[in-house]
Amino acid sequence: MKQIIRLIFIILLSTGSLKAQESFTIRGTVFNAKEEIIQGATVFIDGSEKGTATNAKGEFKFANIKPGTYKVIVSMIGYASTKQNVIIQDQSASLTIHIKEKATVLREVVIGNDSQRKENIKIFLKNFLGESGNAKKCKILNLEILDFSTIKTILEATSDDFLIIENKSLGYRIKYLLRNFRYNKGTGVTSYDGESVFENLAGTEEEKSTWIENRKKAYQGSLMHYLRSLYKNNLRQEGFITLEVKNNSQPLQLAPNPVNMEQYINTVDSNFIQLKFKTRLYIVFDKENALKANDHDQNGTITKMMGKDGSIMRLFLDDAIIDSKGSYVDYRSFFIQGFWGGKRIGDQLPFEYN
- What's residue 301's pLDDT? 86
Q: pLDDT tens for residues 166-199?
A: 999 999 999 999 999 999 999 998 999 999 999 9
| 11 — pLDDT class (breaks 50, 70, 90) | very low
Note the pLDDT of residue 294.
Answer: 65
Per-residue pLDDT tens for 108-152? 444 447 899 999 999 999 999 999 999 999 999 999 999 999 999
SS3 letters across the chain: CHHHHHHHHHHHHHHHHHHHCCCEEEEEEEEECCCCECCCCEEEECCECCEEECCCCCEEEEEEECCEEEEEEEECCCECCEEEEEEECCCCEEEEEEECECCCCCCCCCCCCHHHHHHHHHHHHHHHHCCCHHHHCEEECCHHHEEEEEECCEEEEEECCCEEEEECCCCEEEEEEEEEEEEECCCCCEEEEEEEEEEECCCCHHHHHHHHHHHHHHHCCCHHHHHHHHHHCCHHHHCEEEEEECCCCCCEEECCCCCCHHHHEEECCCCEEEECCCCEEEEEECCCCCCCCCCCCCCCCEEECCCCCEEEEEECCCCEEEECCCCECCCCCEEEEECCCCCCHHHCCCCCCC
Task: Check pLDDT > 50 for residue 12.
Answer: no
Please tell me the least confidently modeled range out of 24-33, 97-106, 141-150, 216-225: 97-106
pLDDT digits (tens, 9 = 90+) for 39-61: 999 999 999 999 999 999 999 99
Residues 6+ apart with CB under 8 A from 289: 241
Q: What is the pLDDT of residue 329?
A: 86
**Average pLDDT score over the chain:** 90
* CA dist list (Å): 122 to 102, 191, 196, 228: 29, 16, 21, 34
pLDDT of residue 105 exceeding 90: no
What mean pLDDT comes out for the span 76-105?
91
Model confidence band, residue 13 (pLDDT cutoffs 50, 70, 90): very low
Span 198-213, mean pLDDT? 97
Residue spans of the domains in the chain: they are: 2-99, 114-205, 220-347
- Cβ-contact 191, 344 below 8 angstroms: no
Q: Does 291 have pLDDT greater than 90?
A: no
Which pLDDT score is estimated for 80?
93
Q: Determine the average pLDDT of the residues in 10-26.
A: 55
Specify the fold of 2-99: Immunoglobulin-like (2.60.40)
pLDDT band at 331 (very low <50, low <70, confident <90, very high): confident
Q: Percent of the chain having pLDDT more than 90? A: 77
